[in-house]
Amino acid sequence: MIEPLKHILDIYDKKKDTLLYYLTDDVKDIVEAFDFLDDGHDLFINDNIYCIHKSTLDLDYVGRIMAIQKQKITIKYKYKYSIHLPKNEYYILIKRKKTKKNDRDFYKALLNAL
């Protein structure tokens, strides 16, 4: 797989801003308000993610996380299908869900207690 932005993103600290500079205006308008996974954010179940393919810089998938494994993420795509995506082939932007049922601090504390 060819990743044209790999060396450029390695240089800069603010990877999201650098990535947004190289995206098309349509994709940029959709994803600019969300968190970039490589900027120190974690994935949690029920978060919405936006997957931009590393070689084409196209927005390929938008969905809700159903399962997280070491190298793959399972998302609910178009409210019908479940798709398994390899983490290393996509730039992932995260839209956090803020609900009482899905409280991140609770899940983090529970995970640390295990």
CATH at 97? 2.30.30.520
> Is 1 a domain residue?
no
**For 74-89, what is the mean pLDDT?**
88
What is the C-alpha end-to-end distance of the chain, expressed in Å?
A: 37
Say if residue 93's pLDDT is above 90: yes
pTM of the complete model: 0.80
Q: Identify the weakest region by mean pLDDT among 11-15, 82-86, 101-105.
A: 101-105
Give residue 81's domain range: 6-113
Q: How many domains does the chain have?
A: 1
**pLDDT over 90 for what percent of the chain?**
44
Say if residue 106's pLDDT is above 90: no
DSSP 100: S
Which conformational region is residue 46 in: left (phi greater than 0), alpha (psi within -120 to 50 degrees), or beta?
Answer: left
> Is 61 a domain residue?
yes
Structure confidence by residue, pLDDT tens digits, 35-60: 888 766 788 888 899 999 999 999 99
Query: Are the CB atoms for 56 and 91 separated by under 8 Å?
Result: no
Q: How many CB atoms lie within 10 A of CB 53?
A: 16
Query: Are the CB atoms for 104 and 44 separated by under 8 Å?
Result: yes
> Is 24 a domain residue?
yes
Q: Where are the beta strands (DSSP E) in 54-96?
A: 59-68, 72-77, 81-86, 90-95
